[in-house]
């Protein structure tokens, strides 16, 4: 297994985003130097990992000469290619249309950009974010830097691959079924999906009947994720939620932790189950009260309901494509998974109102669960990271969707409930691949997740791709 990374003796070194921000603020390095280093690293590993949808090198170098103020001023990043950035097209991991450059920044990037980050490009994703592996028949597969024969996870595939490989220390990701947490687990990163409506979001995601998508970042350290949440909250604060605040260390409260290794219709593989139980034992050693439960608090229909809702979103995209992309829309170029999801929903549209109602009710069911438990510990994904080809969208729909739903059996719950969850790289497989475990909490309790994440990171430091 040959790892692919770009860490080296340049201006970026092996600094995380907070460390780099501190170096920049102290004048030890310049924004021009670190942006040039990130571009060089992207050029070195980009062809192998295939994580870049669009480079913005010229623009980044210009911005680096006079970066915006903010805690992350001058820190290079990539932005997932499904949010609007002024002057750039948004292709959504798809080549069925030619996107027009955005007239203005979307609400998310207006917030993210205000933290001072400098994007060197937009990162690749699976088509419209529907799959947990970015394997487009013409755009190619995004590969895992820990083992390029394997997927980087998705949909935030390029962002995760580039952070893991050292191209940038922090990258935008968003999550409508696990798309922050799954690639974080596959690539050995920290990935936190925030509470619904915690931060600014583009209109396309706000307009969903059930707002399953949340924006965040993938990073190599808990402190980077905590710093992002703190800085984003300084730009955009939802007064309906308790603030996250500035979380910099483990908490002192001992928590009641529920452990679940079975989801609706899916049992975690023995290796993944044992990794999760190993973290449960670690939490017990740290003084937390751990109880094992049979499955998360979801109705038996959850898997089918979420699949139907996914399909409804695909149906909407297919139906509105011609109007949205005047003169360039070619539905024959949509990948087979997108078309399969749309067909699946079209045959079951009479069931959609009930499915949406049940998904909306899941928030109340989960709130009752968290009245008795502080956090829930589960696998992030049910099996080890699969090889490229396992979720190839050109395979027949029934095969791909069964494989997809089995692998991502644990993450969609928080998208339905709107609650926060974090994936942490606390285990490795027998052959050295990262394994993520996930911790979820009640609405607005990101601070609790960060505190326990700091504690676990301190007790079991994360593996580094560079050794």
- Write down the pLDDT at residue 68: 98
Q: What is the pLDDT of residue 294?
A: 85
- What local confidence, expressed as pLDDT, does residue 347 receive? 97
Residue 317: beta bridge partners?
none
pLDDT at 129: 98
Task: Please say whether the beta carbons of 418 and 197 come within 8 A.
Answer: yes
Percentage of the chain modeled with pLDDT above 70: 100
Give the β-pairing of 421-428 and 190-193. Answer: antiparallel
Percent of the chain with pLDDT over 90: 97
The secondary structure of 273-288 as a DSSP string is HHHHHHHHHHHHHTT-
Tens-digit pLDDT profile for residues 105-157: 999 999 999 999 999 999 999 999 999 999 999 999 999 999 999 999 999 99
Alpha-helical runs (H) found in 286-349: 302-324, 336-346
Is residue 358 scored above 90 in pLDDT? yes
The pLDDT value recorded for residue 381 is: 99
At 445, list the tokens. 């309790």
For residues 87 and 49, the answer to whether their CB atoms sit within 8 Å is no
Reference 320, options 60, 92, 134, 141; nearest CA is 92
Residues 6+ apart with CB under 8 A from 411: 175, 177, 178, 181, 182, 380, 381, 421, 438
The pLDDT score that the predictor gives to residue 272 is 98
User: Using 50, 70 and 90 to split pLDDT, how confident is the model at 297?
Assistant: confident
The whole-number pLDDT of residue 265 equals 83
Query: Do 71 and 115 contact (CB within 8 A), yes or no?
Result: yes
Dist CA 304 CA 249 (whole Å):
40
What pTM does this model have?
0.98
In whole numbers, what is the pLDDT of the chain averaged over residues?
97
pLDDT at 368 over 90: yes
Alpha helices in 130-267 (DSSP H): 157-164, 181-187, 203-206, 222-235
pLDDT at 13 exceeding the cut of 90: yes
pLDDT tops 80 at residue 203: yes
Structural tokens at position 145: 């830097």
147-165: burial string, b at 16+ Cβ within 10 Å, e else:
bbebbbbbbbbbbbbbbbb
Question: Where residue 454 falls among pLDDT bands split at 50, 70, 90?
Answer: very high
pLDDT, one tens digit per residue, over 88-99 is: 999 999 999 999
pLDDT-based confidence at residue 467 (cuts at 50, 70, 90): confident
To which residue do tokens 């980009």 refer? 46
The region of weakest confidence among 4-8, 310-314, 360-364 is 360-364
Place of tokens 């699949």: 307
Q: In angstroms, rounded to a whole number, what is the distance separating the alpha carbons of residues 181 and 381? A: 9
Residues labelled catalytic: 80, 155, 179
Q: Which residues pair with 428 in a beta bridge?
A: 434
CB 413 within 8 A of CB 366: yes
Average pLDDT over residues 197-206: 95
Q: What is the mean pLDDT of residues 268-280?
A: 98
Residue 342 confidence (pLDDT): 98
| pLDDT at position 296 | 79
* Residues 6+ positions from 284 with CB-CB distance below 8 Å: 290
Q: Which CATH superfamily is domain 18-459 in?
A: Amidase signature (AS) domain (3.90.1300.10)
Would you state the pLDDT for residue 117?
99
pLDDT at 97: 98
Q: How many Å apart are CA 82 and CA 20, to the nearest integer?
A: 26
Pairwise CA distance, residues 17 & 232, whole Å: 14
Residues 306-349: tens digit of each pLDDT: 999 999 999 999 999 999 998 999 999 999 999 999 999 999 99
Peptide bond just before 414 cis, omega within 30 deg:
no
Report whether pLDDT(53) > 90. Answer: yes
Span 351-355, average pLDDT: 97
Neighbours of 247 (CB within 10 A): 22
The pLDDT score that the predictor gives to residue 298 is 82
pLDDT digits (tens, 9 = 90+) for 376-417: 999 999 999 999 999 999 999 999 999 999 999 999 999 999
Residue 436 has pLDDT above 90, yes or no: yes
Q: Is the confidence at residue 55, as pLDDT, over 80?
A: yes
The pLDDT assigned to 264 comes to 86
| Res. 1: pLDDT tops 80 | no
């Amino acid at each position: 297994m040959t790892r692919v990374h770009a860490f080296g003796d340049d201006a970026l070194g092996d600094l995380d985003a907070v460390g780099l921000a501190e170096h920049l603020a102290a004048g030890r390095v310049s924004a021009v130097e670190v942006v040039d280093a990130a571009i060089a690293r992207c050029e070195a590993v980009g062809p192998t990992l295939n994580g870049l949808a669009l480079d913005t090198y010229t623009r980044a170098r210009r911005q680096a000469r006079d970066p915006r103020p903010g805690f992350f001023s001058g820190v290079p990043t990539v932005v997932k290619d499904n949010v609007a950035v002024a002057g750039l097209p948004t292709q959504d991991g798809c080549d069925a249309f030619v996107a027009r450059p955005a007239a203005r920044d979307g609400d998310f990037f207006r917030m993210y950009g205000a933290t001072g980050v400098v994007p060197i490009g937009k990162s690749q994703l699976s088509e419209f974010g529907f799959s947990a592996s970015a394997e487009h028949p013409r755009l190619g597969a995004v590969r895992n830097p820990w083992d390029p024969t394997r997927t980087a996870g998705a949909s935030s595939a390029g962002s995760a691959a580039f952070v893991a490989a050292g191209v940038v220390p922090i990258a935008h990701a968003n999550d409508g079924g696990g798309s922050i947490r799954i690639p974080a687990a596959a690539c050995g990163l920290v990935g936190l999906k925030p509470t619904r409506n915690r931060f600014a979001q583009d209109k396309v995601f706000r307009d969903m009947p059930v707002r399953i998508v949340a924006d965040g970042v993938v990073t190599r350290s808990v402190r980077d994720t905590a710093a992002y949440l703190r800085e984003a909250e300084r730009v955009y604060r939802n007064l309906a939620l308790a603030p996250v605040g500035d979380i910099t260390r483990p908490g002192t409260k001992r928590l009641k932790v529920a452990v679940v290794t079975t989801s609706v219709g899916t049992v975690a593989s023995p290796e993944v189950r044992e990794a999760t139980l190993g973290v449960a034992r670690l939490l017990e050693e740290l003084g937390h009260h751990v109880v094992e439960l049979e499955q998360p608090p979801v109705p038996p229909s959850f898997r089918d309901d979420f699949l139907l809702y996914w399909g409804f979103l695909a149906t909407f995209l297919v139906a509105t494509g011609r109007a949205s992309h005047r003169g360039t829309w070619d539905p024959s170029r949509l990948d087979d998974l997108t078309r399969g999801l749309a067909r699946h929903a079209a045959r079951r549209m009479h069931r959609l109102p009930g499915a949406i109602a049940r998904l909306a009710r899941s928030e109340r069911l989960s709130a009752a669960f968290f009245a008795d438990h502080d956090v829930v510990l589960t696998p992030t994904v049910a099996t080890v990271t699969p090889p490229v080809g396992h979720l190839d969208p050109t395979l027949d729909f029934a095969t791909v969707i069964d494989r997809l739903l089995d692998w991502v059996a644990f993450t969609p719950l928080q998208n339905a409930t709107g609650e926060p969850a974090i994936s942490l790289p606390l285990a490795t497989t027998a052959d050295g691949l990262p394994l993520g475990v996930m911790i979820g909490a009640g609405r607005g309790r990101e601070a609790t997740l960060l505190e326990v994440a700091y504690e676990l990171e301190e007790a079991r430091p994360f593996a580094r791709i560079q050794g």
